[in-house]
Amino acid sequence: MATLNVVAPGSIAMADFKGKVDPDWCPGCGDFGVLAAVQKALVELQIPNHRVATVSGIGCSSNFPGFINTYGMHTLHGRSLPVATGLKLGNHELTVLVTGGDGDGFGIGCGHFVHAMRRNINLNYFVLDNQIYGLTTGQTSPTSRVGMKTKSNPYGNGDTPVNPITLALSAGATFVARGFSGDQKHLTELIKSAIQHKGFSFLDIFSPCVTYNKDNTFQWFRPRVKKLEENAEYDATNWVAAMEKATVWGDEIPIGKFYETTEIPTLEQTEPVLDDMPLIERELYIASDIAKKFVEELM
């Protein structure tokens, strides 16, 4: 299959990643910006569409795979990461992107989120975080702020929001970053770095919901977001510094790469079964001398 990967330099264009249908997101939704940034990153990295798999859960942002031309999987609510893990282990030569929302990833799928990061499998997890449930018409999400009034919490949310960045750092993610749909150029660079990183890349992306979240709008984020890359003193290899920065929230909200380490091997590197070839290329039948030994053990 390796010969299929050869492409002429520069031959991959935005049109190659255009999906079969146009997104049905609300006009002005933050997700449009994320989709464009992902497509742009894949073009800039010149990865052919048939070598990319996009796996999502369920929700507005989880309709993502249908709007980009790659091998896509639209799975169950909260289950994108285990499906993507199986897919990646079945063929680890594919670039696997996982997309979804904050409810999908930090609510119903939070258990998988933590364990996927522990494994350091080479997945790229992009959460389109709008701090609300959109497709179910506006309920509190795990990242909704305290006090936020929604249809499911008319008197205001009382639960402390999940901090995806500190959670990812403490679960062992080897690439942790935050982007903003309103800053295309910066987001595209983050996506490219995430894809190039070997290991689990987590990217929390502010992708405002223009219909149900009247608090965390583009206008609210724009003056607050501050790029870590513009701070010359910030060291993204320092885990403790990353933890500290991740707790900053208010007038200033840091975006950019919080942390990256290449010192931890990926799951694919530590699994000898994947050493010589992807699982999909293995012989169906087990070698007869090995099979014979398996039976002799029982005698």
Partner 1 sequence: MSQTFAIGIGGAAGQGVATPGDIFALIFSRRGLHLNAYNAYQSIIRGGHTFLTIRTGVDEVRSMGDGIDLLIPLNQDTMDRHLQLLTAGGACIYNADTIKPGAAAEGVQLCALPVSTMADITRNKVAQNTLALGAALSMMGVGFLSLESVIAGQFGRKGDAVVKENVDLARTGYDFASAHFKPFDKPLPLTGNRYAVLSGNTAMAMGGAAAGVKFYCAYPMSPSTGVLHWMAGHGRKAGIMVRQVEDEIGVINMAIGAAHAGVRSMCATSGGGFALMTEGLGLSAMAEIPVVAINCMRAGPSTGVPTKTEQGDLWQALGAAFGDFPRVIAAPLDIGDCFTLMHEIFNVTDKFQCPGIVLCDLLLSEGRLSVDPKLLDFNPKIDRGELITSNGDLSHGEYLRYKFTKSGVSPRAIPGLPGYTHTVASDEHEENGVLISDEYTNNTKRRAMMEKRMRKMVGIEAMVPPPVLEGPKDADVTLIGWGSTDGTIKEAREQLAAQGITANQLQIRWLVPLHGEAILRILRSAKHTIIVENNFSGQFARYLRSETSFVADGHIRKYDGEPFMPHHIVNAVHDQLAGATTLSVPTHEVMV
Task: Give the binding site for partner 1 (CB under 8 A).
Answer: 1, 4, 20-21, 24, 48-51, 53-55, 58, 63, 65-66, 69-76, 79, 82-91, 93-94, 111-112, 114-115, 271-274, 278-280, 282-286, 288, 290-291, 293-295, 298-299
- Nearest distance, CB of residue 97 and partner 1, angstroms: 12
C-beta closer to partner 1: residue 210 or 243:
210
- Nearest distance, CB of residue 237 and partner 1, angstroms: 28
- Nearest distance, CB of residue 230 and partner 1, angstroms: 38
Place of tokens 């073009």: 43
Helices and strands in the chain: count of H runs, count of E runs: 10, 8
- Nearest distance, CB of residue 190 and partner 1, angstroms: 24
C-beta closer to partner 1: residue 6 or 232:
6
What whole-number distance in Å separates Cα of residue 191 and Cα of residue 136?
A: 28
211: DSSP letter: T
C-beta closer to partner 1: residue 67 or 259:
67
Residues 248, 227: contact at Cβ < 8 Å? no
C-beta closer to partner 1: residue 20 or 185:
20
Q: Which of 153, 116, 115, 145 is nearest to 129 (CA)?
A: 145
What whole-number distance in Å separates Cα of residue 121 and Cα of residue 107?
A: 21
Distance of CA 73 to the CA centre of its chain: 14
C-beta closer to partner 1: residue 71 or 220:
71
The pair of structure tokens assigned to 193 is 């770095």
